[in-house]
Amino acid sequence: MKPLFYLNKYLWKYKWRLSLGILFVTSSNFLAVEMPKIVKNSVNTFEDNVWLLKANPNDDTYFENILNGALWLALAYIGISLVKGIFVFLNRQTIIVMSRLIEYDLKNEIYAHYQKLSPSFYKRNSTGDLMNRISEDVSKVRMYLGPAIMYTINLVVLFFLTITYMLNTNVELTLYVLAPLPLMAVLIYYISKIMNKKSEEVQVQQSKISSFVQETFSGIRVIKAYNMQGATEGRFTKEVDGYKTKSLNLAKVNALFFPVMILLIGISTILTIYIGGLKAQGPNPEISTGDIAAFVIYVNMLTWPFASVGWVTSMVQRASASQKRINEFLNESPEIVDIEKPKSFENGDIALTDVSFTYKDSGIQALKNVSLTIKKGTTLGIIGETGSGKSTLGNLLGRLHDPTSGTIKVKDIEFKEVFLKELRKQVGYVPQDAFLFSDSIKNNIQFGLEQDGVSDDLLHQAAKDAHIYHNIIEFDKGFETVVGERGLTLSGGQKQRVSIARAIIKEPEILIFDDCLSAVDTETEDVILTNLKRIMKGKTSVVISHRISSVQHADHIIVLQDGEIIEEGNHEGLIATKGYYERLYEKQMEG
């Protein structure tokens, strides 16, 4: 149960609700044990008066006794039932509601933590896994917080109250009658365990099907282009078949649950009536007929709590396994964090000294001893083959990673020391894969702004600067056009330009373009770069590209190869060097 101790802080948070819940469970049980006593009284009253009535058929009092007794006892029974019902309602309103509130808090806690974690965490763990822990696992934990706690308190209270009464009535009979119950608890425990295992299998299969379907339809164009509909359908059928088999297996075990319970209650009931019957006979009966009736009801009342011992145990085990998984993620500490007293951001020259970077998970050294200075207000061009480390460098400049060794400073303050929130605000980063949210173009562009809603002028200006305005106004709904999942309705170049507009509208001090002009033609590229020169006046920009045309007007250009700077200078200087840059230039000019 150790992992579940993590939740104690929440139980503490809702301590009043929980205490009230315990009070209500206790009260409802106090009333519940009164009810069989009423039945006992009715049976005894009836029995006594029937004998007397038979002996004195002409005396009406005995008949009236029976009627009056029945009326009052029935009223009492109904009254107690009603009040007990109210307590049961209240106890669910407190304990089960508490479990829902904690579920809500826990989900928020996990979500907030997810957002803090670094990209490398997301490389290591699949989206499915992240989603499962925040949904499936949290619901299992909730079962511990709600039903498990509720039934446990219920069992403890009810058990002590009934057992006390039963033992007071007759010790021997009590022992006989209760004998089958522990056996039932053990049996139910094993059945629940098997049921949980099977239902877990069903769940795993279910998530397999969902991932498969999701992937199939995201990649539907590839599937159609390769004519693989038949094959994917075959795979789908196979997975669904698996699901069917597993569900049927679960149903079989499920079907055992109630019969086993009812069988054991039956045995208890028979024992009560048989042994109780023997004890109620003779000239000096140990117990009354009413006691037998009360015992039968008590046994039935105890059945569910006893069964729930097995059920609750396996529920707690599952919750504990789930909370362990959740804790694993909650214990992950984000790599990129603020230092104790972060400094505020000031724009200035950016200086990289001996910066190296190795991806921990793959061990690939993507940057080796890169030293360079980007003067404030200038543009740096970065060019190089694929895999040469350009994006890695861009990531470091946006502080998505910290360098493995070496330092990056802006105006002589280390990046690590700058208040992260300000740094992110001042650095506009356009990633290589233009990701758009399934939302309107407007919301996609104003995504990074702190204030909600921005004036149309600003919005339109950003779109114009990114050279996408003329495309947007051609859409029927203009800026309100919703782009489908991953912006399916936009062309590659349009998506890139919307993501450029998203960075521009922030008016950042430093702007990094990671190959985000790759899908636009050279003319459009020219327009955007000219606009950029205007809006980034006095600010620093970094343009990463495969194309000379994107970087040739930059103030300084570096050529990366295998994570190292092999050439640097301005366009003319690099052409004169007659190295990699010049050869690339010749090749691209031919094109």
Ligand X SMILES: Nc1ncnc2c1ncn2[C@@H]1O[C@H](COP(=O)(O)OP(=O)(O)OP(=O)(O)O)[C@@H](O)[C@H]1O
Residue with the shortest CB distance to Mg ion: 391
Question: What number of other Cβ atoms are within 10 A of residue 397's Cβ?
Answer: 25
Beginning with the edge strand found earlier in the chain, give each strand of the sheet holding 405-410 in spatial order: 365-374, 350-358, 405-410, 413-414
Sign of the four-CA dihedral 157, 158, 161, 163 = negative
Q: Binding to ligand X by residue 388, rule CB under 6 A?
A: yes
Which of these, 99, 140, 134, lies nearest to 115 by C-alpha position?
134
Residue 7 or 427 with smaller CB distance to ligand X:
427
| DSSP string across 169-185 | H-HHHHHHHHTHHHHHH
Q: Binding to ligand X by residue 366, rule CB under 6 A?
A: yes
Return the range that interacts with ligand X (CB under 6 A); candidates 275-283, 389-397, 435-443, 492-500: 389-397
For the record, the structure tokens of 99 come out as 């479990």
Site string for Mg ion, 431-460 (x = CB under 5 A): -x----------------------------
Residue 291 or 515 with smaller CB distance to ligand X:
515
What minimum distance in Å lies between the beta carbon of 456 and ligand X? Answer: 35
DSSP run (H or E) holding 545:
strand 540-545
Residue 387 or 569 with smaller CB distance to Mg ion:
387
Residue 386 or 451 with smaller CB distance to Mg ion:
386
Residue type, 531: N
Question: What number of other Cβ atoms are within 10 A of residue 146's Cβ?
Answer: 21
What minimum distance in Å lies between the beta carbon of 334 and ligand X? Answer: 16
Q: Binding to Mg ion by residue 550, rule CB under 5 A?
A: no
What minimum distance in Å lies between the beta carbon of 331 and Mg ion? Answer: 32
In sequence order, the β-bridge partners of residue 564 are 561
Greatest pairwise CA separation for the chain in angstroms: 133
DSSP 3-state assignment of 542?
strand
Choose the contact partner of 392 out of ligand X, Mg ion, none; CB within 5 to 8 A by kind. Answer: ligand X
Choose the contact partner of 124 out of Mg ion, ligand X, none; CB within 5 to 8 A by kind. Answer: none
Choose the contact partner of 361 out of Mg ion, ligand X, none; CB within 5 to 8 A by kind. Answer: ligand X
Residue indicated by tokens 């948070």: 13
Return the range that interacts with ligand X (CB under 6 A); candidates 91-99, 161-169, 382-390, 581-589: 382-390
Residue 465 or 515 with smaller CB distance to ligand X:
515
Of 257, 359, 475, 580, which lies in the binding site for ligand X, with binding defined by CB under 6 A? 359
Contact 265, 299 (CB under 8 A): yes
Return the range that interacts with ligand X (CB under 6 A); candidates 72-80, 218-226, 356-364, 446-454: 356-364
Which of these, 355, 366, 383, lies nearest to 543 by C-alpha position?
383
Choose the contact partner of 220 out of ligand X, Mg ion, none; CB within 5 to 8 A by kind. Answer: none
Residue 94 or 391 with smaller CB distance to Mg ion:
391
List all residues 6 or more positions away from 380 whose beta carbon is below 8 Å from its beta carbon: 372, 374, 540, 541, 542, 543, 554, 555, 556, 557, 558
Measured CA to CA, the distance from residue 263 to residue 265 in angstroms comes to 6
Sign of the four-CA dihedral 188, 193, 194, 196 = positive
Of 241, 354, 361, 485, which lies in the binding site for ligand X, with binding defined by CB under 6 A? 361
Of 432, 440, 531, 577, which lies in the binding site for ligand X, with binding defined by CB under 6 A? 432
Choose the contact partner of 26 out of ligand X, Mg ion, none; CB within 5 to 8 A by kind. Answer: none
Measured CA to CA, the distance from residue 91 to residue 26 in angstroms comes to 9
Binders of ligand X among residues 487 to 516 (CB under 6 A) are 515
Choose the contact partner of 240 out of ligand X, Mg ion, none; CB within 5 to 8 A by kind. Answer: none
Choose the contact partner of 366 out of ligand X, Mg ion, none; CB within 5 to 8 A by kind. Answer: ligand X
Site string for ligand X, 249-278 (x = CB under 6 A): ------------------------------
| Residue 412 CB burial class (10 angstroms; 0-12, 13-18, ≥19) | exposed
Binders of Mg ion among residues 206 to 245 (CB under 5 A) are none
List all residues 6 or more positions away from 11 whose beta carbon is below 8 Å from its beta carbon: 18, 102, 145
Q: Binding to ligand X by residue 364, rule CB under 6 A?
A: yes
Site string for ligand X, 569-588 (x = CB under 6 A): --------------------
What minimum distance in Å lies between the beta carbon of 395 and ligand X? Answer: 8
CA dihedral 430, 434, 438, 439 (to 10 degrees): 40
Choose the contact partner of 21 out of ligand X, Mg ion, none; CB within 5 to 8 A by kind. Answer: none
| Residue 256 CB burial class (10 angstroms; 0-12, 13-18, ≥19) | middle
Q: Binding to Mg ion by residue 545, rule CB under 5 A?
A: no
What minimum distance in Å lies between the beta carbon of 407 and ligand X? Answer: 19
Beginning with the edge strand found earlier in the chain, give each strand of the sheet holding 564-569 in spatial order: 427-430, 510-514, 540-545, 379-384, 556-561, 564-569
Q: Binding to Mg ion by residue 391, rule CB under 5 A?
A: yes
What minimum distance in Å lies between the beta carbon of 515 and Mg ion? Answer: 6
Q: Binding to ligand X by residue 387, rule CB under 6 A?
A: yes
How many residues lie near ligand X (CB under 6 A)? 16
Of 378, 392, 426, 540, which lies in the binding site for ligand X, with binding defined by CB under 6 A? 392
What minimum distance in Å lies between the beta carbon of 121 and Mg ion? Answer: 20
Which of these, 110, 136, 131, lies nearest to 328 by C-alpha position?
110
Which residues bind to ligand X, rule: CB under 6 A?
A: 123, 359, 361-362, 364, 366, 384, 386-392, 432, 515
Which residues bind to Mg ion, rule: CB under 5 A?
A: 391, 432
